[in-house]
Amino acid sequence: MSRKLKEKAVHRLSSEKGTVIKRWGRKVTVALVYPNTYYVGMSNLGYQQVYYLLNQREDTLCERVFLPDREDMDEYQRTGTQIFSLESQRPLRDFDIIAFSIPFENDYLNALKILEMGNIPLMAAERSEEHPLVIAGGVTTFLNPEPIADFIDLFLIGEGEEVVNQFIDSFIKNSNGDKQEMLSSLSKVEGAYVPSFYQVAYKENGEMESFLPKGKVPKKVKRRWIRDIDSAPTISRIFAHDTEFSGMQLVEISRGCGRGCRFCTAGFIYLPPRIRNPKKILNDISGQWSVASGKSTHIEKVGLVSAAVSDYPFINSLCAPLIAKGKKVSVSSLRMDSTTDELVDALKNSGHKTMTFAPEAGTERLRNVINKGISEDDILKSVEMAISRGILNAKLYFLIGLPAETDDDIEGIVKLAKRIKKEVLALTKEAGRIGTITLSINPFIPKPWTPFQWSPMEDVKSLGNKLGCIKGALKKEGNIEVNHENPKDSYLQALLSRGDRRVGRVIRKALETGSWSRGIKDSQVDTDFYVYRIRNKGEILHWDFIYHGIEKGYLWKEYERALKGKFTPPCNPPKCHRCGVC
């Protein structure tokens, strides 16, 4: 092993607070892998939560593994060092379980790279009892795990708090002996999905013919979700300075969202929406604060995490005591129809210079199609609210390539940006400094488990033209910046989120060739089939085997309502039963 790499790991550990270092010799050892760098992985609250849950157990040792930093890749190659864990610098092969936590599809390639650097056979079928069990969880896996099904022995579908302990209990009980027998026992854990226990068949036209259990495994794999959300606080556990949210304590304040925006996965796969008790959150924050307070990790901010922070009913009574205690609060994006003056004040007092909103579409018609339910008035009022409280910059998220989108909707983004700028100018004239408006425009990707799962993605070239139109129309507008995702990257994300097991060939070829475009070419997989094809109502979708509780018919009805521009009001648990989850 390279001394240089080992020293870097030890140095990293020394700059952390909250790390769990355990002696080996426990009943089960887990390498918890985030398929990207330390900087990205340690900024992910879900990853930290699983680390905490596993290390809560006396019988389990859990250590972290990340994709090496780019600048270290040559050193790994030069020294032939196998990838190793952070806590004890042990190679992957030493662990009983390699557990991937995968929130983003584009990290699938990194997951294979990590197995390769750990000298672990890539294909599940090539691994035996002498190899660690390779499992995966995380939001991508309960959307559609099929593109990586051939590389993973078992998936845990759902929220870690609900399934991790049951899984580890079963593993400890059943891990001695034949791999197939062990997998058969583990597959009895609700939410466990063993791809090799299901037979997939395709029609001549490439559509799925059937997805059948090969033995005594459930026809549908149930998503596990935690009912009593306050029983498992989700909060930063390890504090380090080399992360995106350095100096910030992340805390989840609610899970799921009942708004039903028809493009948004978080709005469906985390149903029903669940709210955390503000008193409990404040206790958790102060409890963790003592862990964090140390000379090397200066924590001054609390990042409030939720799919819709401003929808949190106790947002004011949560922010006020935090601000009163001299803490600062930070949030991701806000809904324009539920942001309060008090919240804006709290953000202003916390040093926020930019308010981030997500109108998503440039016209009211299209906002109804996607069920965003935000009027132009809401948009202008929230910009005015922010400016009148001293936050002069605005960041606005838009999607292009949405179902039923017309040229008027693209023009609508330009008009809305100009209108907001006019508003900003009028409001900031006295301030003598005008704020910047940033448009962040992303191509729409039709995701599984949303009403738009049957829609195709728009052609990359056409998306490029639309971006060109918007940028061209706003070029001469001072103080308006436009940034956007590259439609080619969105094409890839669409492929990896809508693909089936055959797409695994693309990922493998991309690893071999070192490039996605070469991988797509060499795999000879017709990737447009997955990205650009409209799915039929009656078609078996290769993620249908996951049971989220949401009726497929409900999603189809929402799709039809979308095409008619009909708005659906937010869900109202537990009285309502419309989607099937409650």
Closest CA to 38 of 242, 297, 236: 242
Q: How far is the CB of 335 from ligand SF4 (least distance, A)?
A: 17
Decide whether 157 or 271 has the Cβ nearer to ligand SF4.
271
Decide whether 8 or 224 has the Cβ nearer to ligand SF4.
224
Q: How far is the CB of 552 from ligand SF4 (least distance, A)?
A: 14
CB 177 within 8 A of CB 217: no
Q: How far is the CB of 558 from ligand SF4 (least distance, A)?
A: 10
Residue with tokens 């949560």: 318
Integer-rounded Cα radius of gyration of the chain:
24
The dihedrals phi and psi of 421, each to the nearest 5 degrees, come to -60, -45
SS3 (DSSP) at 183: helix
Closest CA to 101 of 152, 176, 59: 152
Decide whether 303 or 373 has the Cβ nearer to ligand SF4.
373
Q: How far is the CB of 340 from ligand SF4 (least distance, A)?
A: 24
Q: How far is the CB of 273 from ligand SF4 (least distance, A)?
A: 7
Helices (H) and strands (E) in the chain, counts: 20, 19
Q: How far is the CB of 553 from ligand SF4 (least distance, A)?
A: 13
CA–CA distance, 309 with 383 (Å, rounded to integer):
17
CA–CA distance, 21 with 315 (Å, rounded to integer):
36
Q: Reply yes or no: is the peptide bond before residue 574 cis, omega within 30 of 0.
A: yes
Decide whether 143 or 302 has the Cβ nearer to ligand SF4.
143
Q: Which residues bind ligand SF4 (CB under 6 A)?
A: 258, 271-272, 571-573, 576-579, 581-582
Residue with tokens 């039903």: 260
Helix (H) or strand (E) holding 442: strand 437-443
Residue with tokens 């490039």: 515
SS3 (DSSP) at 303: strand
Dihedral angle over CA of 43, 46, 47, 53, nearest 10: 130
Q: How far is the CB of 267 from ligand SF4 (least distance, A)?
A: 10
Decide whether 415 or 557 has the Cβ nearer to ligand SF4.
557
Decide whether 419 or 557 has the Cβ nearer to ligand SF4.
557
Q: How far is the CB of 258 from ligand SF4 (least distance, A)?
A: 5
Helix (H) or strand (E) holding 133: strand 133-137
Decide whether 213 or 580 has the Cβ nearer to ligand SF4.
580
CA–CA distance, 6 with 82 (Å, rounded to integer):
11
CB 85 within 8 A of CB 93: no
CA–CA distance, 52 with 560 (Å, rounded to integer):
43
Decide whether 225 or 543 has the Cβ nearer to ligand SF4.
225
State how beta strands 97-101 and 28-34 pair: parallel
Decide whether 432 or 574 has the Cβ nearer to ligand SF4.
574
Q: How far is the CB of 568 from ligand SF4 (least distance, A)?
A: 9
Q: Reply yes or no: is the peptide bond before residue 451 cis, omega within 30 of 0.
A: no
Q: At what angle are helices 504-513 and 108-117 packed, to 10 degrees?
A: 60
What one-character-per-residue DSSP string does 195-246 give?
Answer: GGGEEEEE-TTSSEEEEEESSSS-SSEEPB--S-GGGS--B---B-SSSTTT
CA–CA distance, 477 with 91 (Å, rounded to integer):
55
CB 20 within 8 A of CB 62: yes
Decide whether 218 or 573 has the Cβ nearer to ligand SF4.
573
Q: How far is the CB of 320 from ligand SF4 (least distance, A)?
A: 29
By CB atoms closer than 10 A (0-12, 13-18, 19+), residue 514 is: exposed
Residue with tokens 């009895």: 188
CB 224 within 8 A of CB 190: yes
Decide whether 247 or 549 has the Cβ nearer to ligand SF4.
549
Task: Tell me the residue number closest to ligand SF4, measured at CB.
Answer: 571
Decide whether 294 or 549 has the Cβ nearer to ligand SF4.
549
Decide whether 301 or 447 has the Cβ nearer to ligand SF4.
447
